[in-house]
Amino acid sequence: MSEHDFSLMRTAMVASQLRPNGVTDPAVIRAFETVHREQFVLDERRRAAYVDIPVQLSSGRSMNAPLPTARLINDAGLKGGESLLLIGACTGYAAAILAQLNVAVTAVEAEEALFAALEKNVSNIATVKPVKGTFAAGFESAAPFDVILIDGAVEEVPSALVEQVKEGGMVLSGMIDHGVTRLCAGYRLGDTLSMQPFLDIGVVHLPGFAPPPAFRF
């Protein structure tokens, strides 16, 4: 496929998937129009890069469909200049979008092959720092962050991550509730984080966030 073909697909993605479904921030729209999503997927899956379903990457992991990622970023209300911890960076697509918004991104990826792709894809973006590490551990040495964005669905947001967002800072994530996924957002108040849903939608599950088993007698 030609660059012109991908350009048409990118325009259609914004027009048919993002704008009608609550992605309203003009800067976010411009970022999704600018970043070439096909460059962040396997060569054999480039034709599916802009389809409104997750795109399989490697080792069982998939990149979120465009809309969940776009709504997480849109609903963060970013103004530019924020520090943001991105969990589940995959090959760097969300990080590249966030860089377009003048956000300083610490992008955490756990899987070796995906991290290698992440490093390569953001190597020329000065405002993105790729980090290989455990998702649930975040990146404490760069904390506190203004925003934490988990680009996937998790069972719970662990306290280790809550402690890495500033007091009054925002956390956005997909959440798994009895097998249903939805996008949620909340603010840190002291040691607590109350996540409120804002969109029921399919979100890829992110490994490493299972809650500890409940104690039983």
- 3-state DSSP call for residue 5? helix
**29-47: average pLDDT:** 96
Residue 212 confidence (pLDDT): 57
Residue 208 confidence (pLDDT): 86
- The pLDDT > 90 percentage for the chain reads 90
- Give the list of residues 6+ apart from residue 63 with CB closer than 8 angstroms, or none: 40, 41, 54, 55, 57, 90, 91, 93, 204
User: Please, which pLDDT band fits residue 201 given cuts at 50, 70 and 90?
Assistant: very high
Interior CA angle at 87 toward 27 and 185, to 5°?
Answer: 65
**168-180: average pLDDT:** 95
**Mean pLDDT score of the chain:** 95
137 pLDDT higher than 80: yes
Cα distance between residue 96 and residue 151, in whole Å: 13
In this structure, the chain runs to a length of 217
215 pLDDT higher than 70: no
216 pLDDT higher than 90: no
User: Please, which pLDDT band fits residue 210 given cuts at 50, 70 and 90?
Assistant: confident
92 pLDDT higher than 60: yes
Class of domain 3-200: alpha beta
User: Please, which pLDDT band fits residue 211 given cuts at 50, 70 and 90?
Assistant: low
Single pTM value for the model: 0.95
Residue 214 confidence (pLDDT): 53
